[in-house]
Structure 1
Amino acid sequence: MAPTPLDTMDPQDPMTTPTALIVDDEPDIRELLDITLSRMGIDTLTAPDVATAKRLLQGSSPQLCLTDMNLPDGDGIELVSWIQTHSPCTPVAVITAYGSMDTAIQALKAGAFDFVSKPVELNRLRELVNSALKLSTAPETQESSPDDPGLLLGNSAEIKRLRNQVRKLARSQAPVFISGESGSGKELVARMIHLQGPRSEGPFIAVNCGAIPSELMESEFFGHKKGSFTGAVDNKDGLFRSANGGTLFLDEVADLPLAMQVKLLRAIQEKAVRPVGDTKEIPVDIRVLSATHKNLPELVAEGSFRQDLFYRINVIELMVPPLRQRKDDVELLANHILQRVAKEYECDPAELTPDAIGRLQSYDFPGNVRELENILERAYTLCDNDVIAGGDLQLGNGHQGHSISIDYGNDSDAPMELPDGDMDLEGYLESIEKQAINRALEATRWNKTAAAKRLGISFRALRYKLKKLGME
């Protein structure tokens, strides 16, 4: 059994014993929760209404609050909002009536950490409590370095605002919908939410929904039993169970077909999956993050994306700004990318001239950070003396592509014969390049410096080609 945060606490130190506040007007429910948490080694405070709960919170700082939604003098959402203002470090979870998903979503939007439905399942409750305690017992690295960039580099106001939002969302278990243009860094944002939250030690599973064939989607997401269909030679867990205890990131969620959207909605709401060929559901403990560059509200209006799924995954929306809105970050990002590329190529890093930096900062980057990476990687292979000049970037000439010509020497004396029928020109040319590079490497006994000279290109350009053609 995996250790909980309680396993690492010193039982001799009373300061390490966590405390939970239970707010419910039903004495039987308070007693059940009190007994369950006490058996987990957690001290409890109990309150029958909102007023008592506020009074107790003003005199103590519990590591967790569990509150019912319907209280004699108010509701759980009111208490959630009050705690967000007066005790923001206390995670609060709400107890909702069975099937009250709309109410649960309202509570998550108000800042609740998570929710549990009546009748309360004790296993689900324990998972929730342990996740909440991880937030309270983790080292306060976020407080000591509030602007640690992590994976989200930049000093602009936009990226600082994004990092601040990510830190706040990391403390919640609410589903987050990450919107933004292609190449803007939506997966990096999802990873930071995962790494800064209580699930950081669990798996982070990212899946491109548009890359899975529709006939395999159910098996890929939910798994299957051996023999459930032709080709199912072994049991398979699927993406949901692979992400158990961690985060499942659904990239390009708008590409899911309608039939799969229905099944995905049920799995998210019930926190359980049914593998293909199985007769029972298997509980899963995951946080779902999703993203797309498409306009989901428009797709909902068109009927190509289910409204109920949209509301379920879009509890909180987080917008990632395009690179053109944070031009001040371009130089920092460019230098970081060049350092990484140099490490991958095992070469010295290149420097950008002032002219190159100016051209990058004045460019709009329709492809965002991903386009910046591609531009710099190409420029890195073309520059002289480890210096990237403005002309090496190939900006402002109507295209971003750039080819590296290879002199095939004596190996290309034979006339070129084209294959019969239709052909894949790009693939055909790649195959020719692979043959030429292989021959040059074989002729030089795999001395890459000599092979590059034989091919009439730089060593760096050869490394670029080997990487792009998958020949490393």
Structure 2
Amino acid sequence: MSPQTAFKVLVVDDDKSMRLSLVDLLEASGWHVQALPRAALVAETLGHFHADVILSDVRMPGMSGLELLASLDTSQAPPVVLISAHGDIPMAVQAIQDGAYSFIEKPYEPRRLLTVLTHAAQQSRMRVSNVRLRQRLYQLSGLDRVLLGQTDIVADLRRDILDLAETGVPVLISGETGTGKELVARALHDLGSDPDAPFLALNCAVLSPDTFEAEMFGVSGQTQGRLVAASGGTLFLDEICSCPLPVQAKLLRVLEDKTVLPVGATQPVPVTLRVVSATNEEVALAVSDGRLRQDLLFRINTIVLTLPPLRQRRDDLTLLSTHFLAEYARIYEIAMPELSQDDLAALLAHDWPGNVRELRNVCERRILAARRGGGSMVQALQNDSLFDDVPDTLREAVASFERELIAKAIRAHQGRMDAAAEALGIGRRTLNEKIVKLGLDKDALM
């Protein structure tokens, strides 16, 4: 068993010689061991030592092994194997009835002890794995909302994400605003080999060359640095084409050397990161304009995933609209309004510049109107002066559109930022960064 997969056991025994004997046996058998002299220390220790199984003496001063067993939440805590030189049949039966995995008498037979502990640890790992799987499937609901659809282009994209998740290769996600790039990046991470590893999302457009090294690399003897803290996980570089060129050079060095040098340090620190990037621009144009380093592009675009705009998957509009209407009807506790022929015609006629994110907001506006006893999808599609003053450039137009959508989401959710981020289909960190970048005043919106 490798060090990364070795089982972890928490040994609790007030007898020092017995405690050390158990530690020697278990460590010689490849286990990670943490030993404690008192059961009262278990709860605190489990906060940082994620044991697969607890091996505890029964008779101890203060809290006994049976009292320790009774104090643990059996749905969350690792299984408990009790060991005692004073055990008898009634005590063993009572311990099993109270939730102990097994009961072993001293003097113990080492092979049997190791067998019992191994089976308990395997069962614990399987239980944790099942819980994580359920959590991963629940977390993927965001991906389902963005990639819900029956068109071939969406089905192919879902298959690509599942195929790429385990590979660890760099992926560049290309797509217009509102197509769900960050949620796809998170799906690649969540479906990968280590979904519990860190996921570090960076909005490259707001990175400062002056503070980048201190924030990302850390300061020797003071701060660890976000890249070091995220080592072993996924680095998500959003809006990569908007990254300042000096920052691009520093990122490239990290990706090439797989190390960072904290400010003031003399020795580099190794980091291992899977890189997923995203952009709503043409990367070739960004390279030719000198805004994106070509050598950095070559490091991040091993695989390119292109998210389709909503106008290219109009066959999914009815399915998506029904899904979002049902979701918001449940949230606002009203009956879902039916889609009329006029509603469907309006949906199909609209060009959807904000893509799935815009459709979500349109459906929410429809439900909010239904709460007041009226409304239609035609009315919900009205842009409320969004394009009264059309900006001169595409970048300004996108910023104006994002500013309006974010402002509406914040108002609709009474300033609850988690709910606003969920409605927009983006992460809370991304929402905060966009609020700063777009110069929005949250207090003034309420």
TM bin, normalised by shorter chain, reads 0.5 to 0.7
Question: Which residues of 2 match residues 286-301 of structure 1 at below 5 A?
Answer: 286-301=273-288
SS of the aligned residue for 1:337 comes to helix
Q: CA distance change for structure 1 residues 362 and 173 in 2, over 3 Å: closer, same or farther?
A: same
Q: CA distance change for structure 1 residues 279 and 288 in 2, over 3 Å: closer, same or farther?
A: same
Q: Which amino acid aligns with 1:174?
A: V
1:176 pairs with 2:171 = yes
2:306 is matched with which residue? 319
One of 333, 351, 374 as aligned partner of 2:337: 351
One of 209, 227, 239 as aligned partner of 1:252: 239
Q: CA distance change for structure 1 residues 200 and 462 in 2, over 3 Å: closer, same or farther?
A: closer
Question: Which residues of 2 match residues 153-302 of structure 1 at below 5 A?
Answer: 153-225=148-220, 235-302=222-289
SS of the aligned residue for 1:379 comes to helix
SS of the aligned residue for 2:361 comes to helix
Q: CA distance change for structure 1 residues 379 and 301 in 2, over 3 Å: closer, same or farther?
A: same
2:439 is matched with which residue? none
Q: Which amino acid aligns with 1:265?
A: L
Q: Give yes or no for contact 2:311–2:355 (8 Å, CA) kept in 1.
A: yes
1:366 pairs with 2:361 = no
| Cα distance in 1 for residues equivalent to 2:373 and 2:270 | 55
Q: CA distance change for structure 1 residues 382 and 199 in 2, over 3 Å: closer, same or farther?
A: same
Per-residue displacement from partner, 1:323-364 (whole Å, max 9, x unpaired)? Answer: 1111122233333334444566x5436434223233223311
| Cα distance in 2 for residues equivalent to 1:184 and 1:317 | 15
Q: Give yes or no for contact 2:178–2:356 (8 Å, CA) kept in 1.
A: yes
| Cα distance in 2 for residues equivalent to 1:325 and 1:246 | 33
Q: Give yes or no for contact 2:220–2:265 (8 Å, CA) kept in 1.
A: yes
| Cα distance in 2 for residues equivalent to 1:461 and 1:306 | 36
Q: CA distance change for structure 1 residues 185 and 3 in 2, over 3 Å: closer, same or farther?
A: farther
Deviation of 1:168 after TM superposition, in Å, equals 1.2
SS of the aligned residue for 1:318 comes to strand
Deviation of 1:223 after TM superposition, in Å, equals 2.4
Deviation of 1:289 after TM superposition, in Å, equals 0.3
TM-score computed with the length of structure 2 as normaliser: 0.54
Deviation of 1:284 after TM superposition, in Å, equals 1.4
2:4 is matched with which residue? 4
Q: Which amino acid aligns with 1:247?
A: T
Q: Which amino acid aligns with 1:367?
A: G
Per-residue displacement from partner, 1:403-462 (whole Å, max 9, x unpaired)? Answer: xxxxxxxxxxxxxxxxxxxxxxx9xxxxxxxxxxxxxxxxxxxxxxxxxxxxxxxxx998
| Cα distance in 1 for residues equivalent to 2:411 and 2:293 | 48
| Cα distance in 2 for residues equivalent to 1:381 and 1:312 | 46
| Cα distance in 2 for residues equivalent to 1:214 and 1:367 | 31
Q: Give yes or no for contact 2:181–2:278 (8 Å, CA) kept in 1.
A: yes
Deviation of 1:399 after TM superposition, in Å, equals 4.5
Q: CA distance change for structure 1 residues 201 and 217 in 2, over 3 Å: closer, same or farther?
A: same
Contiguous gaps of at least 5 residues in structure 1: 9-38, 42-137, 227-234, 403-425, 427-459
Per-residue displacement from partner, 1:266-297 (whole Å, max 9, x unpaired)? Answer: 11122211122322211112211001111111
| Cα distance in 2 for residues equivalent to 1:3 and 1:331 | 51
| Cα distance in 1 for residues equivalent to 2:352 and 2:411 | 27
Q: What is the alpha-carbon root mean square deviation over aligned residues?
A: 3.9
| Cα distance in 1 for residues equivalent to 2:271 and 2:335 | 45
Deviation of 1:160 after TM superposition, in Å, equals 0.5
Question: Which residues of 2 match residues 2-81 of structure 1 at below 5 A?
Answer: 4-5=4-5, 7=7
Q: Give yes or no for contact 1:170–1:193 (8 Å, CA) kept in 2.
A: yes
Contiguous gaps of at least 5 residues in structure 2: 9-28, 32-128, 389-399, 401-408, 421-441
Q: CA distance change for structure 1 residues 339 and 248 in 2, over 3 Å: closer, same or farther?
A: farther
One of 302, 306, 311 as aligned partner of 2:293: 306
Count of aligned positions: 277
Comparing 291-300 and 385-394, the one that deviates more: 385-394
Q: CA distance change for structure 1 residues 214 and 335 in 2, over 3 Å: closer, same or farther?
A: farther
SS of the aligned residue for 2:150 comes to coil
TM-score computed with the length of structure 1 as normaliser: 0.51
| Cα distance in 1 for residues equivalent to 2:412 and 2:287 | 46
Q: Give yes or no for contact 2:366–2:375 (8 Å, CA) kept in 1.
A: yes
2:323 is matched with which residue? 336
Q: Give yes or no for contact 2:230–2:273 (8 Å, CA) kept in 1.
A: yes
Q: CA distance change for structure 1 residues 466 and 317 in 2, over 3 Å: closer, same or farther?
A: closer
| Cα distance in 2 for residues equivalent to 1:401 and 1:335 | 27
Q: Give yes or no for contact 1:351–1:387 (8 Å, CA) kept in 2.
A: no
Q: Which amino acid aligns with 2:156?
A: R
Q: CA distance change for structure 1 residues 197 and 461 in 2, over 3 Å: closer, same or farther?
A: closer
2:376 is matched with which residue? 389
SS of the aligned residue for 2:211 comes to helix
2:434 is matched with which residue? none
Q: Which amino acid aligns with 1:391?
A: V
| Cα distance in 2 for residues equivalent to 1:362 and 1:310 | 37
